[in-house]
Amino acid sequence: MLVLRPVELADLPRLQKLARESLVGVTSLPDDSERLREKILDSCASFEKDVEGHGPENYFFVLEDPATQHLVGCSEILATAGYGEPFYSLRNRHFTSASRELNIEHGVPALSLCHDLSGHTLLRGFHIDAARVRTAHSELLSRARLLFIVAHPGRFSATVITEIVGYSSDDGHSPFWDAVGKHFFDLPYVEAERLCGLQSRTFLAELMPQYPIYVPMLPQAAQDCIGSIHPDGQEAFDILEREGFETNSYIDLFDGGPTLHARTSGIRSIAHSQCGLTQPGPVNDARGSYLVSNESLKDYRAIVADLDYIAGQPVTLDAAMCTALKVTEGSPVRLIAL
């Protein structure tokens, strides 16, 4: 049984292995042990911290097979995008070209650098072992974050966003980057993404195009990248789209990938998840698959389980489930149908 839990320092070597396999563009997961170590410590401190509102905290989760101690995936929640340093996006809006005298009026889409998404809670760093893509466990890895948010609403913003990795070719070329970013950064796409994962993104500020980029002026291949998703990012997109997330007019600065957003209270797993009290015992007549989490903070756990659950009744969990979730009789748990 795979368990989602907060990352621990002991996970470092295994996490680095995972980072090495992760997709370019998942910039929050750098293949650099020092940087990863910092990330882990930062996450540990976030889970420990008493907060009054959402701040710079970053909650880093791993998906582990306790039997083998293998890590098969990871995901993160940044409580506040753009808290300590600016959070950049490109806003895709129409510039209206109008002349009454010539009887012409039309819109020309233009990309402008902005900080509009600052202040929202950001889901990021979603990465799962290739063998588990499109399984219940990838749902768990993504959506357990939403159950965590609903269990600790004071720690998060009223809006949740996520950036989906945009298109790049198998040999690591992003047509969007080649047409836009490369001119300003003088770096290959992969290198730029690597630097972003490695160090503060603030260095970007000095290099950013400050004036709008008019979309029709870009090569067709770059235009086609706007809002398009890397095949390996499709699942992350699909899961959250089913949760009620929607695309908007913001795209990623580097690869043109789409941004998803949702009102926190309207997200399906948040709005429709239910609470119940743990009742240890055998699950005799499992009628449905659920994502189940405890309500803890630093001992947060979430699993996939087949249950015989009736709304309003205690939640029967077998011994292995109770162990995985670190719950005992009467502990509150939260669940949502898979």
Partner 1 sequence: MIVRPVQITDLSALFTLVRQASPGLTSLPADEERLAYRIRWAQRTFAGQVDRADADYLFVLEDDEQQVVGVSALTGGIGLREPWYNYRVGLTVSACADLGIQRQIPTLFLSNELTGQSEVCSLYLRPDQRLGSNGRLLSLGRLLFVAEFTQLFGNRLIAELRGSTDERGGSPFWDSLGRHFFKMDFSHADHLSGLGNKSFIAELMPRQPLYTCLLTEQAQAVIGKPHPNTEPALKILSAEGFAHNGHIDIFDGGPVIEAPVSGIRTVCDSRPLQLAIGSPDANDPLWLIHNRRLENCRITCVPARLAGSSLVVDRLTAKRLQLQPGDSVRAVPLLNQRHQAAAA
The residues annotated with a catalytic role in the active site are: 230
Cα–Cα nearest to 61, from 74, 80, 78, 43: 74
Kindly tell me which residue out of 172, 209, 244, 332 binds partner 1, with binding defined by CB under 8 A: 209
Residue 154 as a binder of partner 1 (CB under 8 A): the answer is no
Give the position of tokens 């950001």.
122
Q: Which of 38, 186, 246, 329 binds partner 1 (CB under 8 A)?
A: 186
Q: Does 203 bind partner 1 (CB under 8 A)?
A: yes
- How far is 301 from 324, CA to CA, in rounded Å? 7
Copy the structure tokens of residue 145: 């974050």
Stretch that binds partner 1, among 33-41, 90-98, 154-162, 229-237 (CB under 8 A): 90-98
Is 110 a residue that touches partner 1 (CB under 8 A)? yes
Contact pick of 10, 41, 45, 98 for partner 1 (by CB under 8 A) = 98
* 122 neighbors 162 (Cβ within 8 angstroms): yes
Contacts with partner 1, 50-69, as mask; x by CB under 8 A? --------------------
Q: Shortest approach of partner 1 to residue 59 CB, angstroms?
A: 30
The answer to whether residue 207 forms part of the interface with partner 1 (CB under 8 A) is yes
- Judged by beta carbon, residue 136 or residue 195, the one nearer partner 1 is 195
Output the smallest distance, CB 113 to partner 1, in A.
12
Residue of 217, 275, 310, 320 that binds partner 1 (CB under 8 A): 217
Q: Which of 239, 269, 299 is nearest to 61 (CA)?
A: 299
**What does the alpha-carbon distance between residue 111 and residue 91 come to, in Å, rounded to a whole number?**
5
Cβ proximity to partner 1: between 74 and 113 the closer is: 113
* 9: number of Cβ within 10 Å: 11
Size of the residue set binding partner 1 (CB under 8 A): 31
Strands (E), the chain: 3-6, 58-65, 70-78, 89-99, 104-114, 121-128, 159-163, 213-214, 246-251, 258-263, 274-280, 288-294, 302-307, 315-317, 332-337
Among the residue ranges 2-10, 56-64, 92-100, 322-330, the one whose residues contact partner 1 (CB under 8 A): 92-100
Shortest CB 202 distance to partner 1, Å: 10
- Rounded CA-CA distance 129/114 in Å is 34
Report which of 159, 158, 111, 137 is spatially closest to residue 239, judged by C-alpha positions.
Answer: 137
Closer residue to partner 1, CB minimum distance, 111 or 140: 111
Q: Which of 102, 130, 131, 311 binds partner 1 (CB under 8 A)?
A: 102
Residue bearing tokens 């998840």: 273
The interface region with partner 1, picked from 114-122, 205-213, 232-240, 272-280 by CB under 8 A, is: 205-213
Instruction: Supply the minimum distance, in Å, between the C-beta of residue 184 and partner 1.
Output: 4
SS3 172: coil
Residue 245 binding partner 1, by CB under 8 A: no
Q: Residue 184, interface with partner 1 (CB under 8 A)?
A: yes
Interface with partner 1, residue 95, by CB under 8 A: yes
Q: Interhelix angle for 234-242 vs 136-151, to 10°? A: 50
- In sequence order, the 6+-apart residues with CB closer than 8 A to the CB of 6 are 43, 44, 47, 59, 60, 61, 62, 298, 300
Minimum Å gap between C-beta 193 and partner 1 is 14
Q: Considering only residues 161-180, where is the footprint of partner 1 by CB under 8 A?
A: 179-180
3-state secondary structure of 328: coil
Q: Which residues bind partner 1 (CB under 8 A)?
A: 95, 97-99, 101-102, 104, 106, 108, 110, 179-180, 183-187, 195, 203, 206-214, 216-218
